[in-house]
Amino acid sequence: MSNAPWRDDPLGYMIGADAAKTFFDDTYEKKAVVIRHKGADRFASLLSIARIDELVSGNDFPGESVDMARSDPPVSRDQFIFPSGLADKGAISDLYRHGATLILPQLHQFDATLKDFTRSVETVLSCHVQTNIYLTPPNSQGFRTHYDDHDVFVLQIAGEKTWRLYDTPIDTPYRGEGFEAGVHEIGDPVEEFVLKAGEAAYVPRGLLHDASTAGDTDSLHITVGLIVKTWADLILEAVSEVALREPGFRNSLPPGYARPDFDRTESAAQFRKLIDAISREADLDGAYDLFIDNYIRSRMPDTSGTITGRGIPDDKTAKFRLRRAIPWRFAGDEESAVVITAGGELTFPVAAEPALNALLDGGTISRADLSSLSDEDALQVIEKLFSYGVVEPC
């Protein structure tokens, strides 16, 4: 994947360099946009229908890793999932033949190319990025009109799909605040377009939409979902930190507060006092640092090559560099040097700090750069960085 086209500019790869320049100011969480890339094979290196056939036929997928949908008549999971919990490959093929959409949720967890792609996108967005795959036979529709509770990019890999966009009944809904049929009025489409192979779209959460295959060929697209943290999440964390320091937040509500004759006068005064304490004591940096650490730790490390390359060069001058797209934060103290990275944190002798800082600043590291440590300790530093996917040989 050394020539993967998404690595240098993942946002530009999806929506084009020009659209990427103004995306966060003009489009993000505001409106849908359709990108008419030239070249039907723009996204072909990510996935193909042949690759889907290979994956489904060659793997015993657990039930949670495959789904199917059809707007009419609907498909139930017992039609394609064995009692054992594994996917029924024959039933999947038969249902697909009869117009059901094949869905492979979270395929990036199993496919190295898609994982590399999502890692690249995460470097730009600082949020969890997932891929859901939709393969729909000709003249079929998988889902009825709905909205998603997360923003998505749609990358059309093969075939064509007709999209219809409606109104936005819920502005930037919370995660889990899903569409409810009969509650949210759909109305008439406000925009309709055909997405062709090599083209893309961005659809913000809360925007009602549906899609069906166009033409007489199968349609394959990747939905790139953005699972974000919100300001509400950050503020709630900051408030919880204040509550740990301020006992007034932990006092019980007044006895009898649920009675019809309860007087709220004193409660209103206490409420304002606590709100003032939040305004005065809430720490943005503390909450941000916690979110950053949790985000970094929750990423999966890229350890490709660490098994075949378990024996790193014996040369003390052999240099290593940071892996591409590796998330990190340095959190050393007087007793140790700590690198928080994908999967957790790595602790090193404090004497390794200068060499680690040089590495994290974009430089390289070798055993020779760790001359203040014993040769054995220096080797352990390099081996740990390599084994956990932080560095790779230059």
pLDDT band at residue 71 under the 50/70/90 scheme: confident
Residue 333: name the closest of 348, 344, 314 by CA: 348
The sheet that has 391-393: what strands, in order across it? 364-365, 320-322, 391-393
Decide which of 227, 245, 264 is a domain's last residue.
Answer: 227
Amino acid, res. 336: S
Same domain, 240 and 178: no
The stretch 32-41 carries a mean pLDDT of 95
Same domain, 71 and 198: yes
Give buried/exposed letters for 374-391 (b at 16+ CB in 10 A, else e): eeeebbbbbeebbbbbbb
The whole-chain average pLDDT of the chain stands at: 93
29 occurs within a structural domain? yes
For 265-280, how does the pLDDT look when each residue is reduced to its tens digit (9 = 90+)?
999 999 999 999 999 9
Q: Which residues contact 5 (CB under 8 A, 6 or more apart)?
A: 13, 45
- For the cut 90, the answer to whether the pLDDT of residue 140 exceeds it is no
The strand pair at 209-214 and 160-165 is best described as: antiparallel
Same domain, 108 and 142: yes
pLDDT band at residue 40 under the 50/70/90 scheme: very high
Same domain, 181 and 325: no
Decide which of 227, 244, 272 is a domain's last residue.
Answer: 227
- Give the whole-angstrom CA distance, residue 222 versus residue 224: 6
42 occurs within a structural domain? yes
| pLDDT at residue 116, as a whole number | 95
Same domain, 348 and 374: yes
Percent of the chain scoring above 90 in pLDDT? 81
| pLDDT at residue 280, as a whole number | 96
Does residue 233 or residue 70 have the better pLDDT? 233
Same domain, 137 and 279: no
300 occurs within a structural domain? no
Q: Which residues contact 133 (CB under 8 A, 6 or more apart)?
A: 47, 52, 102, 103, 104, 105, 107, 220, 221, 222, 223
Q: What is the CA radius of gyration of the chain?
A: 26
- For the cut 80, the answer to whether the pLDDT of residue 330 exceeds it is yes
- Give the whole-angstrom CA distance, residue 136 versus residue 98: 10
Helix (H), strand (E) counts: the chain = 10, 16
- The reported pTM is 0.90
Same domain, 242 and 142: no
pLDDT band at residue 142 under the 50/70/90 scheme: low
What is the span of the domain harbouring residue 241?
231-283
222 neighbors 46 (Cβ within 8 angstroms): yes
Asked if the bond preceding 73 is cis, omega within 30° of 0, the reply is: yes
301 occurs within a structural domain? no
Same domain, 62 and 134: yes
SS3 (DSSP) at 142: coil
52 neighbors 104 (Cβ within 8 angstroms): yes
CATH, residue 122: 2.60.120.650
Percent of the chain scoring above 70 in pLDDT? 98
Q: Which residue's structure tokens are 């723009």? A: 42
For 220-268, how does the pLDDT look when each residue is reduced to its tens digit (9 = 90+)?
999 999 999 999 999 999 999 999 999 999 999 999 999 999 999 999 9
- For the cut 80, the answer to whether the pLDDT of residue 311 exceeds it is no
| pLDDT at residue 334, as a whole number | 85
- Give the whole-angstrom CA distance, residue 322 versus residue 364: 7
For 159-203, how does the pLDDT look when each residue is reduced to its tens digit (9 = 90+)?
999 999 999 888 999 888 877 777 777 888 999 999 999 999 999
CA atoms within 13 A on the CB side of 348: 30
Same domain, 216 and 245: no
| Residue 209: its H or E element | strand 209-214
pLDDT band at residue 85 under the 50/70/90 scheme: very high
Q: Which residue's structure tokens are 């390099």? A: 382
Q: Which of 209-213, 225-229, 279-283, 296-300 has the lowest mean pLDDT?
A: 209-213
Distance from the first to the final alpha carbon of the chain:
16
Q: Which two structure tokens, joined as six digits, stand for 54?
A: 């290979």
- For the cut 80, the answer to whether the pLDDT of residue 77 exceeds it is yes
| pLDDT at residue 143, as a whole number | 73
- Give the whole-angstrom CA distance, residue 140 versus residue 67: 16
Same domain, 236 and 332: no
| pLDDT at residue 149, as a whole number | 93
Q: What is the largest CA-CA distance in the chain?
A: 81
The stretch 290-299 carries a mean pLDDT of 96
- For the cut 90, the answer to whether the pLDDT of residue 215 exceeds it is no
97 neighbors 137 (Cβ within 8 angstroms): yes
164 occurs within a structural domain? yes
Q: Which two structure tokens, joined as six digits, stand for 91?
A: 């039933």
| Burial class for 17, CB neighbours closer than 10 Å (0-12, 13-18, 19+) | exposed
- For the cut 90, the answer to whether the pLDDT of residue 341 exceeds it is yes
Same domain, 201 and 246: no
- For the cut 70, the answer to whether the pLDDT of residue 1 exceeds it is no
208 occurs within a structural domain? yes
311 occurs within a structural domain? no
Same domain, 202 and 70: yes
| Tally of structural domains, the chain | 3
Q: What is the DSSP string of 40-77?
A: TTTTTTT--HHHHHHHHHHS--BGGG-EEE-SSS---G
| pLDDT at residue 216, as a whole number | 85
- Mean pLDDT is highest, among 134-138, 145-149, 250-254, for 250-254
Q: Which two structure tokens, joined as six digits, stand for 179?
A: 């569409």
* Helix, strand, coil fractions of the chain, as percent rounded to 5: 35, 20, 45
179 neighbors 127 (Cβ within 8 angstroms): no
| Burial class for 129, CB neighbours closer than 10 Å (0-12, 13-18, 19+) | buried
Q: Which two structure tokens, joined as six digits, stand for 232?
A: 């509400």
Q: Which of 58-62, 174-178, 295-299, 376-380 has the lowest mean pLDDT?
A: 174-178
4 occurs within a structural domain? no
